[in-house]
Amino acid sequence: MTEGNRPLAGEGPGDRAGENPGGMSTSRRAFSVAVYARRGDRVLVIEHRRLRTWLPIGGELEAGETPLEAAHRELREETGLPGRFRSLAGALDGVPPGLLGYEEHPAGTKGLHMNFVFVTEVAADAEVVPNDEFAAWRWVDRAELDAVDSPLNVRQFGVLALAARFV
pLDDT at position 121, please? 97
pLDDT at position 62, please? 96
Beta bridge partners of 42: 39
Which CATH number characterizes residue 101's domain?
A: 3.90.79.10
**Mean confidence (pLDDT) of the chain:** 86
Question: Is the pLDDT confidence value at 124 over 80?
Answer: yes
Please state, as a whole number, how many other Cβ atoms lie within 10 Å of the Cβ of residue 36.
28
Nearest Cα to 56, choosing from 76, 37, 81, 84?
37
pTM: 0.83
Is 14 part of a structural domain of the chain? no
Is 19 part of a structural domain of the chain? no
Q: Confidence class of residue 84 from pLDDT cuts 50, 70 and 90?
A: very high
Is 10 part of a structural domain of the chain? no
pLDDT at position 135, please? 82
Is 3 part of a structural domain of the chain? no
Is 11 part of a structural domain of the chain? no
The number of domains in the chain is 1
Is 138 part of a structural domain of the chain? yes
Question: Is the pLDDT confidence value at 8 over 70?
Answer: no
Is 18 part of a structural domain of the chain? no
Q: Confidence class of residue 80 from pLDDT cuts 50, 70 and 90?
A: very high
What distance in Å separates the CA atoms of residue 139 and residue 96, rounded to the nearest whole number? 25
Is 8 part of a structural domain of the chain? no
- Tell me if 45 sits within 8 A of 129, measured CB to CB: no
Pick the more confident residue, 158 or 27: 158
What distance in Å separates the CA atoms of residue 101 and residue 85, rounded to the nearest whole number? 14
**Enclosing domain of residue 51:** 27-163
What distance in Å separates the CA atoms of residue 145 and residue 124, rounded to the nearest whole number? 19
Chain segment 50-73, per-residue pLDDT in tens: 888 999 999 999 999 999 999 999
- Tell me if 117 sits within 8 A of 157, measured CB to CB: yes
pLDDT at position 23, please? 54
E strands along the chain, which residues?
2-3, 6-7, 29-39, 42-48, 53-55, 57-60, 99-106, 112-121, 134-140
Lowest mean pLDDT among 3-17, 65-79, 114-128: 3-17
- The DSSP letter of residue 87 is P
- Tell me if 130 sits within 8 A of 111, measured CB to CB: no
Chain segment 9-42, per-residue pLDDT in tens: 333 333 333 344 455 445 889 999 999 999 999 9
